[in-house]
A and B are shown apart, each in its own frame.
Chain A
Amino acid sequence: MGIGDIWNLIAMQPVINTLIVLTHYLFNNFGLAIIVLTIIVNAAMLPLTLKQVHASKAMQALQPKLAEIQKKYAKDKQRLAQEQMKLYKESGVSPAGCLLPLVVQMPVWIALYQSIMHVLAVIPENLLGLSKYLYSWPIVYSTLPLENHFLWLNLATGDMLLALLVGGTMWVQQKMIMTPGADPKQQQQASMMLWLMPMMFAFLTLSFPSGLALFWVTSNVVRIGIQYSATGWGALVKAAPQKKGERDKKYKQRIAEVEKAPEGAEIVAPSLTQEEGLSHEEPGSERQDRGGGYPKSIRAIRRKPKRGRGHRPKRR
């Protein structure tokens, strides 16, 4: 038995036959079957997906410490690697945790993809090829060939609207997981990738049967839901909380600097507005982010040492 036979036995046959049976029970509607099976597969892989999402989130949380280490051991690569590994170990984060679940899921997606292509069987050659994947269930044989129409779509041919949906949902998903970096160059690079992938998929979708595009759209929507439940909208909503987080960090750094400084030493710190590029605001004008205001004087914090490090004053 070759690799191809094993692949057919454990991946292709179950998926193809499930698709056909689902079609039978979903009013002979192949489009609905694709949507339902995609949801089922996503649900089955939810633990892996969540693991991937949380691993990515944990990696992001480690960023300040990693940046610090990188800065500290910039000239000693070996030590840098050691310290990074040490940090990963201490914090229980595995760099492979982000990619491994994705790699594990790939065969499932490929099987689903191949199955949809096979089951569509719009030309006699494909229908002939399909027969070898079928279980000997009467329902499977009598359901074929499947009806290719779903809503406005011919599932066997490409569709412009669905291609745009594939691109759009992919963009949203990418945007949710991609947070802007501090380095403008890398930010630009990430931004380019954010657009490149959805555009590439949207373009390719036009060449593939829309049954496959339906699978991609459903999959993207489900993943957006998972991502939202795990991490929220992320960078998709670049509203105040994001800035507030940045400001929190800087604020804490400033507190640390002040606390470390000897008594009576002068600390020169740029104003928050200048530092955050908000200099366009009129002095004294009302800021949009009312809840994120901080005392303007660093010394004001210094006068309240009992509150400890990292304490945020109450919102007004």
Chain B
Amino acid sequence: MNIRSNIALKVCLAAILLLAGLTLFGCAGIRSSPEGISGGVIADGTLFLCPSVKQAGGLGCASPQLEGKLVAVDISNGNRLWEVSLEASGPTGGGYGCAQSATPVAIYGNPAVAGDLVYIAGYNGRIYAVSASTRLSQDRYVNEANPQPIIGAPAVVGDRLYLGSADGRVYALNAVSLEKEWEFQSGGKIWSTPVIDGNMLYIGSFNKKLYALDAGDGAKKWEFPTEGAIIATPLVYDNTVYIGSFDRCLYAVDASDGSLKWKFMADSWFWAKPVICNNTIYAPCLDGKVYALDAESGEKVADFDLGSPISSSPVLAGSSVVIASEEGKVFAVDTGSNQLRLLSELGEMVRAPLCTSDETIYVYTGEQNLYALNVESGVKSWSLAIK
């Protein structure tokens, strides 16, 4: 065989191997299609949940499931009551080669319930309103001209629906018609969930600032700069806004004027929303620890090492703060004694926020299973696969 051609063929073969290596091993652990990590919300004995949108398996051009759904579950027995499809009428994603032609309806924020309506904000830039009684739904793009992903959950107060978008704007929509009432341009992407307290709206932005807006007209009251992007949802308590930033700090900011009260630095990001009990902040961190901080001074009261990152927002159930780590261990911290105990080992990744009702904790896992756990014993009351 001709040696030169031989070399050329070998080089081509090596390049093909390289390409195959990149495709097979390089992609390992890296997703390019959004799946969603939404948790449940409970209203009148019904849990509303948007399951994650799993990619179909297989090498090469994996075709993601495009349609999302809203599922209603009876929390007393774990029976599926009904489900409504959330159609993938999203913007095109290019459509070249293996690129998908439409954005999947992946849901990252928890649904919000107000009366009969359940609101869901989609990664495809649409807001959905589903009637729990008739299952009829309406939807529309929040930004028709330039649809951008909505990561945070919507917040409903009165007849208004508030949400932040990756187009950098905070929107207030009419809760019935979904028509825009006002918008506020932050100057950075928004993945954070807005929190309404009185007439004020608090939300973080990728531009490293926490904003306080007038919930009535969107006028900016103050802004608080941090050293990192803000993705977490603020916690408002006793005229103080507690917010985690990508600079690894948890800030306590005066809600009236935006001045810093204190800040606490951890070893990684504060992703999940903290909870407060007995004047103590329980702030989960991606460094695998839950920090118990004095709400007034920011002094560390205790920390609890859960062994793996915590991205799931904890809940307060009775006198316990229940937290799930990414590796699927569910813990309870007794707020009286600050003692940590293991409730359950699910063995499945947990990133979705927890929710609770009475003495039961509801955990939705990365394996698309919903578990109901007793907060005292950790015993599974029921489980349901929601795909």
A residues bordering B, Cβ < 8 Å? 56, 59-60, 62-63, 66-67, 98-99, 102-103, 106, 109-110, 113-114, 117-118, 122-129, 131-132, 134, 136, 138, 141-142, 144-145, 157-158, 160, 163, 174, 177-183, 186-187, 189-190, 193-194, 196-197, 200-201, 203-207, 209
Contact = CB atoms under 8 A, between A and B. Distances in A.
B364 interface: no
Given A138-B227, A141-B248, A125 B34 contact: yes
B269 A131 contact: yes
14 contacts: A62-B3, A99-B10, A118-B30, A123-B106, A124-B34, A141-B268, A142-B246, A158-B97, A160-B96, A163-B96, A174-B12, A201-B19, A206-B98, A207-B96
Contacts of A157: 93-94, 99
A72 to B, nearest CB: 15
Given A67-B3, A128-B271, A197 B18 contact: no
Contacts of A181: 2, 4-5
Interface in B61-97: 61, 93-94, 96-97
B43 interface: no
Nearest to A201: B19
Contacts of B27: 117
B329 to A, nearest CB: 17
A181 B3 CA distance: 8
B171 interface: no
A206 B3 CA distance: 34
B10 A134 contact: no
B229 interface: yes
B26 A114 contact: yes
B268 A142 contact: no
B128 interface: no
Nearest to B93: A157
Given A118-B30, A141-B228, A189 B5 contact: yes
A15 B309 CA distance: 22
B11 interface: yes
A132 B309 contact: yes
B11 A141 contact: no
Contacts of B9: 189-190, 193
A110 B37 CA distance: 28
A129 to B, nearest CB: 7
A174 B12 CA distance: 8
B229 to A, nearest CB: 6
Contacts of B301: none
B31 A125 contact: yes
B32 interface: yes
Given A128-B311, A128-B351, A123 B26 contact: no
Interface string B16-52: 1111011101111111111101000000000000000
A98 B94 contact: no
Given A124-B191, A142-B227, A197 B15 contact: yes
Given A98-B10, A118-B30, A197-B15, A124 B1 contact: no
A142 B25 contact: no
Nearest to A106: B18
A142 B33 CA distance: 25
**SS class of chain B's interface: helix, strand, loop or mixed?**
loop
B174 to A, nearest CB: 28
B97 A126 contact: no
B2 A183 contact: yes
A98 B7 contact: yes
Given A123-B34, A142-B246, A157-B93, A207 B61 contact: yes
Nearest to B94: A158
Interface string B168-194: 000000000000000000000101000
Given A125-B31, A128-B351, A209-B32, A59 B25 contact: no
Given A102-B14, A138-B247, A144-B228, A129 B5 contact: no
Contact of B22 (A103, A113, A138): A113
B8 A193 contact: yes
Interface in B349-364: 351
Contacts of A204: 19, 23, 97-98
B99 A124 contact: no
A129 B99 contact: no
Given A157-B93, A186-B2, A131 B286 contact: yes
B7 A60 contact: yes
Nearest to B151: A124
A126 B231 CA distance: 14
Contacts of B268: 131, 134, 141
A207 B246 CA distance: 30
Contacts of B123: 123
Nearest to A187: B5
B119 interface: no
Contacts of A197: 12, 15-16
Nearest to B271: A128
Contacts of B242: none
Contact of B21 (A106, A118, A124): A106
B367 interface: no
B5 A110 contact: no
Given A98-B7, A193-B12, 11 more contacts: A67-B2, A125-B351, A141-B246, A142-B228, A145-B189, A145-B246, A163-B96, A174-B12, A178-B8, A193-B9, A194-B8
Contacts of A113: 22, 26
Contacts of A141: 228, 246-248, 268-269
A206 B2 contact: no
B206 interface: yes
Contacts of A203: 97
A134 B351 CA distance: 19
B331 interface: no
A226 B385 CA distance: 56
B18 A109 contact: yes
A63 B7 CA distance: 11
Contacts of B2: 63, 67, 181-183, 186
A259 B22 CA distance: 56
